């Protein structure tokens, strides 16, 4: 199999490190790795598949000869550097929000809409972590009976913010348990033993950007602007693994038994739904796993065609790094790179 020169922008961050680990774990055909990061991280050493590589500064010149570049360094870096990488013949898989709603950029979850990759022009967007796990569950149900409306409340881990947030949660827990005052630097308020109904910035509607991401991205990925989506996104003191309470209304009735059967056959989804045995998805169960877990599947008795579901996934894996690597694997399989 052909080998590829692969760059990771943000190689020293939480998602960048996860991408490298998953590339190695899944034996992606990397002939040369080009780890890129900020100027202050340049010169650091990382080991990939037994070889040591030096981290380079993320500059346009670094993409010469690169076949595939994973971007995981934030929106501003992507906006500035991704187009430069594409100009040099590199296929960019971007994990930021920079290009997701650009009509010329495919927004892809490989199990849901791989056909959208065929129209790529060098730039592909990786969806938001909370959107990815939700659409993986929604799409097979939508194919059976079209979904009219979605109401979702999320419970999102601090790793979605980055390594600094994970360190802040640890520090605050230690301080509080020692009887000291917790200080907040990453978040506006203490996150330890607390929850924050606030992810990303608020706009004039009172919704946050994270909530609008779920609304808009769901419609684009599922190719259906008619789906009504309402989201409330919440940060919780969990290190790894996003959870979601999802309520759907469909055009025709889907019984809980039918939903379990449909989802048990869906790629990338694992049903754990035995409430009488206290079996349901948990973030600690999802951490380090590739699947999106779904349980608590039950009828919503307030409407004619409604279901409630509980959806959990590792936000650093399927919610970010794994989905990006799966996009690259699909590009290779379809000979689109």
* Sequential pLDDT tens for the chain (337 residues): 689 999 999 999 888 999 999 999 999 999 999 999 999 989 999 999 999 999 999 999 999 999 999 999 889 999 999 999 999 999 999 999 999 999 999 999 999 999 999 999 999 999 999 999 999 999 999 999 999 999 999 999 999 998 899 999 999 999 999 999 999 999 999 999 999 999 999 999 999 999 999 999 999 999 999 999 999 999 999 999 999 999 999 999 999 999 999 999 999 999 999 999 999 999 999 999 999 999 999 999 999 999 999 999 999 999 999 999 999 999 999 999 9
How confident is the model at residue 2, as a pLDDT? Answer: 84
Dist. CA 107–CA 216, nearest whole Å: 11
Cβ atoms within 10 A of the Cβ of 185, count? 11
Give the angle subtended at the CA of 266 by the CAs of 261 and 271, to the nearest 5°. 60
**How many domains is the chain partitioned into structurally?**
2
Cα four-point dihedral sign 183, 185, 187, 191: negative
Q: Is residue 184 domain-shared with residue 254, that is, in the same domain?
A: yes
pLDDT in tens, 161-208: 988 999 999 999 999 999 999 999 999 999 999 999 999 999 999 999
158 within 8 A of 199, measured Cβ to Cβ: no
Q: Report helix, strand or coil for 286.
A: helix
Q: Report helix, strand or coil for 245.
A: strand
Residue 242 known to be catalytic:
yes
How confident is the model at residue 82, as a pLDDT? Answer: 96
Give the angle subtended at the CA of 107 by the CAs of 70 and 64, to the nearest 5°. 30
71 within 8 A of 77, measured Cβ to Cβ: yes
Q: Report helix, strand or coil for 214.
A: helix
- Residue 299's CATH number: 3.30.360.10
How confident is the model at residue 304, as a pLDDT? Answer: 95
Answering whether pTM is above 0.75, one says: yes
Q: Is residue 74 domain-shared with residue 110, that is, in the same domain?
A: yes
Q: Is residue 118 domain-shared with residue 228, that is, in the same domain?
A: no
Q: Is residue 177 domain-shared with residue 112, that is, in the same domain?
A: no
Q: Is residue 53 domain-shared with residue 181, that is, in the same domain?
A: no
Dist. CA 335–CA 328, nearest whole Å: 10
Dist. CA 184–CA 190, nearest whole Å: 5
84 within 8 A of 61, measured Cβ to Cβ: no
58 within 8 A of 73, measured Cβ to Cβ: yes
Q: Is residue 296 domain-shared with residue 178, that is, in the same domain?
A: yes
Dist. CA 170–CA 187, nearest whole Å: 13
Domain assignment of residue 296, given as a range? 131-315
Spatial neighbors of 297 by CB under 8 A, at least 6 apart, are 256, 259, 260, 263, 271, 273, 307, 308, 309, 310
Q: Is residue 165 domain-shared with residue 33, that is, in the same domain?
A: no
Spatial neighbors of 25 by CB under 8 A, at least 6 apart, are none
Q: Which among 129, 142, 173, 198 is annotated as catalytic?
A: 129
Q: Is residue 144 domain-shared with residue 278, that is, in the same domain?
A: yes
Q: Which of 231, 253, 232 is closest to 300 using CA atoms?
A: 253
Q: Which among 116, 120, 142, 242 is annotated as catalytic?
A: 242
Q: Is residue 137 domain-shared with residue 86, that is, in the same domain?
A: no
321 within 8 A of 293, measured Cβ to Cβ: no
Residue 116 known to be catalytic:
no
Q: Quickly list DSSP for 21-57.
A: HHHHHTT--EEEEEEEE-GGGTT-EEEETTEEEE-EE
Q: Is residue 148 domain-shared with residue 105, that is, in the same domain?
A: no
292 within 8 A of 269, measured Cβ to Cβ: yes
Q: Is residue 252 domain-shared with residue 161, that is, in the same domain?
A: yes
- What is the DSSP code (8-state) at residue 239? S
């Amino acid at each position: 199999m052909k080998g590829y020169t692969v760059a990771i922008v943000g190689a020293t961050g939480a998602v960048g490190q996860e991408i490298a680990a998953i590339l190695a774990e899944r034996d992606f055909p990397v002939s040369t790795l080009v780890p890129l990061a900020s100027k202050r991280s340049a010169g650091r050493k990382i080991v990939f598949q037994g070889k040591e590589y030096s981290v380079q500064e993320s500059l346009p010149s670094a993409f010469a000869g690169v076949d595939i570049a994973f971007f995981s360094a934030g929106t501003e870096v992507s906006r500035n550097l991704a187009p430069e990488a594409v100009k040099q013949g590199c296929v960019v898989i971007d994990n930021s929000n920079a290009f997701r709603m650009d009509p010329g950029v495919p927004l892809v979850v490989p199990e849901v809409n791989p056909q959208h990759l065929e129209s790529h022009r060098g730039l592909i967007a990786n969806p938001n972590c909370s959107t990815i796990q939700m659409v993986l569950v929604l799409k097979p149900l939508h194919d059976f009976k079209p979904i009219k409306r979605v109401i979702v409340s999320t419970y999102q881990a601090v790793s979605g913010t980055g390594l600094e947030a994970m360190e802040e949660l640890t520090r605050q827990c230690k301080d509080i348990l020692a009887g000291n005052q917790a200080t907040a630097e990453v978040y506006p308020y203490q996150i330890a033993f607390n929850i924050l109904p606030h992810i990303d910035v608020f706009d004039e509607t009172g919704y946050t950007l994270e909530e609008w991401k779920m609304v808009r991205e769901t419609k684009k990925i599922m190719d259906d602007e008619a789906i009504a989506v309402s989201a409330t996104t919440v940060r919780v003191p969990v290190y790894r693994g996003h959870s979601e309470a999802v309520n759907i209304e469909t055009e025709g009735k889907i019984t809980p038994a039918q939903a379990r059967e449909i989802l048990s056959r869906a790629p990338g989804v694992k049903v754990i739904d035995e409430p009488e045995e206290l079996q349901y998805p948990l973030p600690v169960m999802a951490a380090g796993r590739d699947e999106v877990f779904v349980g608590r599947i039950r009828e919503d008795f307030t409407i004619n065609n409604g279901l409630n579901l509980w959806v959990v996934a590792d936000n650093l894996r399927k919610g970010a790094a794994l989905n990006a690597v799966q996009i690259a694997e699909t590009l290779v399989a379809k000979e689109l790179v």
